[in-house]
Copies of this chain bind each other. A is one copy, B any other.
């Protein structure tokens, strides 16, 4: 059993590795040879005596990719609180494990022997899988001659999107908009030197839409970021949270696909029947911040094609350079952790990285 730290995963993982492993997994998903279970959450609310005590969130999602013969489960054990911010109640995870750390693990199993192959924290894979999935959408649905990339957001998620997108198209220039101008400038100069590419801050959000062929939204914003009125012919747009794109933009997209048709977790609330705190109400209604499916009632979410349909050749394709294409609801699915986790595991084995623990520590002689 190979134990890896998040730092080791971070050193091993590459955008190419993520793109390649996810492309295979999505192709298998479209063919019926891969799958993910619905995510489940148990949120344990404030304890009996102290209403200010943070909540606990236990969350898991599973996935299997048959072709690489692995299954994975990703488990998050989060300490959650809600803080007031300018944009309303904001959900915050607290690093309460010893050493000021977070607890979130991926367990990788062999579907041939059942054994636990590897165990590692989720952060680096979590970061990279989102950007790589948005970029896979761009690989299949953006114009081949796309040269200008626009990014909303300047956090770690934005960085991962930029790195992955630069692998699938010959990007000449990147425009970044983020309301925090100082952070945006720092992000641009960091990315410019990392990718040896022109990466510039945009003064206004609309500037991004005026110049970019590909626009990716990866923000914490509760407001809509990609607006239909600013769309131009031939663009590919995508967002992690569906609420970052407005209804007009969804309706103008001639090809509209989703990562998954899931709208949220199957969740369970433990709070002794007490009144639910305000943050938790939002959590339960939809765990995608700022997304209210009712406001998008005209979109038939349950019947839209998926990225897996496109990659396996069953779904729609871009038919002309003039079409507007859109990829949304880039929610995590268990299969991504099996695919990318296995690629990281193989790279670690090849390079002799990680700690080998006895397999017997994680198995038993008695029948389960």
Contact = CB atoms under 8 A, between A and B. Distances in A.
A116 B109 contact: no
Contacts of A114: 56, 77-79, 96-97, 102-103
A203 interface: no
Nearest to A58: B71
B71 A102 contact: no
Interface stretch (A38-46, A187-195, A283-291, A292-300): A38-46
B35 A268 contact: yes
Interface in A34-91: 34-38, 40-42, 44, 47-48, 56, 58, 60, 62-64, 66, 71, 73, 75-79
B40 A37 contact: yes
Given A360-B101, A363-B97, A367-B93, A42 B64 contact: yes
B103 A115 contact: yes
Interface of A: 3, 5-6, 10, 31-38, 40-42, 44, 47-48, 56, 58, 60, 62-64, 66, 71, 73, 75-79, 93, 95-105, 107, 109-116, 119, 121-124, 126-127, 266, 268-273, 355, 359-368
B56 A111 contact: yes
Given A102-B365, A113-B98, A42 B37 contact: yes
A65 to B, nearest CB: 9
Q: How many copies does the complex hold?
A: 2
A102 B367 contact: yes
Contacts of A123: 364, 366-368
B364 A102 contact: yes
A100 to B, nearest CB: 8
Contacts of A110: 77
Interface pairs A-B: 8 shortest CB-CB:
A104-B368, A123-B366, A121-B364, A56-B111, A101-B363, A97-B115, A6-B364, A77-B109
Contacts of A109: 58, 77, 103
Nearest to A127: B366
Nearest to A361: B3
Contacts of A111: 44, 56, 58
Contacts of A42: 35-37, 62-64, 71
Nearest to A55: B111
B6 A365 contact: yes
Which of A97, A103, A121, A366 has the most chain B CB atoms inside 10 A of its CB? A366
Contacts of A98: 113, 115, 359-360, 363
Contacts of A105: 107, 116, 362
